Amino acid sequence: MRIIDSHFHWWPRSVWDALCKRKGYPRAEADGKGGYRYYPTPGKENSSLGPWPEWFDLDKQFEHMDNLGHYIEAFGSIGPFSVHFSYLPVSEGKEAAIHWNEEMAGAMKKFPGRFWASAAVPLVDTAVALEVLEDAVGRLGLMGVNLPGSVGADPRIDAERLEPFYDRVEELGLPLFLHPTDAVFADMLSDGYGGALHLSLGRVIEVSVAAMRLVFSGVMERHPNLKLVMSHTGGALPYQAGRMDKNGKKANLPELPSTYIKRFYTDTVTPHSLGMRYAVEFFGPDHVMYGTDYPCWSPADALRFFGECGFSEEVQAKIFAGNAEKILGIPARTPELVLS
């Protein structure tokens, strides 16, 4: 059976090496162990973003997945670092995003038919965001766009000025990957417990709030064909959809908020088979894609939890690959070309 990992992270080391040479904020430092520490703004010296070596070697990542006994393809999204390009000044954010996108395009050429990738886009300036988007799709052939949970530290991803950006993403039919970015709730939740409160709950809160901004603001109403891919089994929203409907009427939407939430796509990234099953029940088997969040999570554990869900072969085929082909635009393959 074909398996496509829709929630996979590979980060180009060249981007981080360049960031280490930058003066001021945002900046990065090598940790002496092959990884880095990231410092987005003054006062955030304890940033939770510290990638280790596994993030930067795509060959070894595929080698690791090959040891699972399956041939697994991957769609690369940025994850928490996607906010970085909006922390930078406009011209520098544009340059850094193009650098990232060119690295992604290079990896797609190195691993044709096995690795696909999405684009970094700085959102501080809408015109620049559109320019970078067109370059990523037209010149580089990238197949999706990353949407951070905030524009730098500004939580308003539903700002009116960004409407042309959502217009164009919808028109191009591109998946828009919404992922928490540690910019909004990290300060209040990262103190103590070794960061456990933020990592376990803060990121779920951030991605859920960001998604509901797109609902309550009417972005999802005005863009009925927008393919919003919300990470981590939809955050808190599937489990609190009734509360969104009960208390969300003040937003004066034509439909109940849960109507728009159910239009989202999501992945199976949760170390909890019950959570996976409920995500499929809530969103429907056509709206959920297999994902591992590798290297943040173990691909072996992801497969094990998924196997515990008890899905039919038809549903498994959709989640493992069929939905990704339709949602992400990955070419379908005939059965004889799929290795097991």
| DSSP E strand boundaries for 50-207 | 72-76, 115-117, 145-148, 175-179
What residue type is 162 in one-letter code?
A: L
Question: Are the C-beta atoms of residues 55 and 304 closer than 8 Å to each other?
Answer: no
pLDDT score, position 184: 78
| DSSP E strand boundaries for the chain | 3-8, 27-30, 36-39, 72-76, 115-117, 145-148, 175-179, 227-230, 265-267, 288-289
Q: Is 305 exposed, middle or buried (0-12, 13-18, 19+ CB in 10 A)?
A: buried
> What is the distance between the alpha carbons of residues 128 and 105, in angstroms, rounded to a whole number?
20
Ordered by start, the domain boundaries in the chain are 3-337
- Alpha carbons within 13 angstroms on the beta-carbon side of residue 77 total 30
Tokens of 133: 């988007």
Q: Please choose, from the candidates 141, 144, 147, the residue with its C-alpha nearest in 3D space to the C-alpha of residue 105.
A: 141
Q: Is 110 exposed, middle or buried (0-12, 13-18, 19+ CB in 10 A)?
A: exposed
Tokens of 168: 């164009």
Q: Please choose, from the candidates 182, 183, 176, 179, the residue with its C-alpha nearest in 3D space to the C-alpha of residue 152.
A: 183
Task: Give whole-number Cα distances, 140 to 104, 115, 119, in Å.
Answer: 9, 14, 9
Q: Which long-range contacts (CB under 8 A, 24 or more apart) does 26-34 make?
A: 26/84, 26/87, 26/88
Q: Is 77 exposed, middle or buried (0-12, 13-18, 19+ CB in 10 A)?
A: buried
What residue type is 228 in one-letter code?
A: L
Could you please state the CATH topology (level 3) that the domain comprising 3-337 is classified under. Answer: TIM Barrel (3.20.20)
Scanning the structure block, which residue is given the tokens 């891919």?
229
pLDDT per residue as tens, the chain (340 positions): 899 999 999 999 999 999 999 999 999 999 999 999 999 988 765 566 899 999 999 999 999 999 999 999 999 999 999 999 999 999 999 999 999 999 999 999 999 999 999 999 999 999 999 999 999 999 999 999 999 999 998 999 999 999 999 999 999 999 999 998 877 777 777 677 888 888 888 889 999 999 999 999 999 999 999 999 999 999 999 999 999 999 999 999 999 999 999 999 999 999 999 999 999 999 999 999 999 999 999 999 999 999 999 999 999 999 999 999 999 999 998 544 444 4
pLDDT score, position 45: 57
